[in-house]
Structure 1
């Protein structure tokens, strides 16, 4: 170290009120920032999601799962930016949800799901009612 830089450091260290002033400034700024910061236990972090409701009159839950839910989920997993697809099935009704990445526009996601459903429509049972996309 040069003589000048060590003398500069020595001058600051000899006056602790300067260091304490900076420390107080940083603590005050931190407390003010913490007070103004938004904090939520459960922040709003919903992914773009599209739901399909498919009804097949008279079908059991097992039939709905194997003939409708599985093929539709497989087709949905082929879409771009999909996080997951999952279904809930009861007698005569299957609800399939497709969850996309945050970067996916919801309108584009709906169009992609509609196109995917139209691709496999011929593979689905003929007696299903028109699928509803929500």
Structure 2
């Protein structure tokens, strides 16, 4: 801000946050009002959300060693839990912050240059190892292997 300027300082709404930045949603249940109004219905709603989220998280954990998008499914289960539970909302906010920080670090020119160099060196090492293997053992197609 220019101190010699006659322009008023731009006000920032504490609820909306910084201009151009999407404010975070308030913590708490996102169940419909008619469900939140009835304690027994809300409790059964929370149990249902927990069971569905648990099933998705378990499926993601199973996918970690098996083919499939394990981490993506786990975060999907956390998002299901976050519709109802504050602890899951806090975990997702923390995760989103960390992923954003990592993405910003990865866009740094020095880090990008280092990553490109490391990838190139790794590919050269793999190419040399494959070349040595082919030179020593040759290439035999799987359907021509004699038992």
Shorter-chain TM-score: what band? under 0.3
Give the TM-score normalised by structure 1: 0.22
Indicate the structure whose relative CO is greater, using CA pairs within 8 Å and at least 6 residues apart: 1
In terms of fraction of residues, the more helix-rich structure is: 2
Give the TM-score normalised by structure 2: 0.21
In terms of fraction of residues, the more strand-rich structure is: 1
* Higher CA-based Rg: 1
